A and B are shown apart, each in its own frame.
Chain A
Amino acid sequence: MAARRRPDEPLGDEALLSGLAVNDPDAATAFVRRFQGKVFGAALAMTGERELAEEVAQQAFERAWRHARMYDARRGPVQAWLLTITRNLAIDQVRARRRRASEGAGAVEQLASLARGPEMEAVASDSGARLRRALAALPPEQSRALVLAAFRGFSAAEVAEAEGVPLGTAKTRLRAAMSKLRASLASQGVGP
Chain B
Amino acid sequence: MSPMSEPMSPMGEMDCDGLRDSAAELALGVLSGADRARALMHLEHCLDCQKEVDSLSTVGDALFELVPPVEPPVGFESRVAARLQAPDARAPSRSRRPGTGPWWRRAWVPVAAGVALVLAAGGGGWAIGSSTQVPSASPAAKASVSWASFHSPARRGDLGEVFISWGRPVWVFMTVDLGQGSGVVGCFLVEQGGQEVQVGSVNLVRGFGYWGAAVQAPLWKVTGARIVASDGRTLATASFR
Chain A interfacial positions (CB closer than 8 Å to B): 25, 28-29, 32-33, 36-38, 40-42, 44-45, 50, 53-54, 57-58, 61-63, 65-67, 70-72, 75-76, 79-81, 83-85, 87-89, 91-93, 95-96, 99-100, 114, 117-118, 121, 127-128, 131-132, 135, 146, 149-150, 153-157, 167, 171, 174-175, 177-178, 181-182, 185, 190-192
Contacts and interface: CB of A to CB of B under 8 A. Distances in A.
B31 A155 contact: yes
B206 interface: yes
Contacts of B76: 36, 40, 54, 57-58
A91 B36 CA distance: 15
Contacts of A127: 62
A135 B59 CA distance: 11
A33 B123 CA distance: 32
Contacts of B58: 76, 182, 185, 190-192
B108 A72 contact: yes
A192 B54 contact: yes
A113 B26 CA distance: 25
A179 to B, nearest CB: 8
A66 B89 contact: yes
Instruction: Give the top 5 A-B pairs by smallest Cβ distance, nearest first.
Output: A37-B69, A88-B120, A41-B70, A40-B72, A191-B58
Contacts, number: 200
Which secondary structure dominates where chain A touches chain B?
helix
8 contacts: A33-B77, A36-B80, A65-B84, A84-B61, A84-B106, A89-B120, A175-B20, A178-B60
Contact of A156 (B22, B55, B71, B72): B22
A150 B84 CA distance: 29
Interface residues of B, number: 62
Contact of A178 (B56, B77, B93, B120): B56
B29 interface: yes
Nearest to A180: B59
Contacts of A83: 61, 64-65
B121 interface: yes
A30 to B, nearest CB: 10
Nearest to A76: B61
B132 to A, nearest CB: 22
Given A33-B77, A44-B70, A174-B25, A96 B208 contact: yes
Given A92-B120, A150-B28, A156-B25, A121 B93 contact: no
A71 B209 CA distance: 26
A25 B81 CA distance: 9
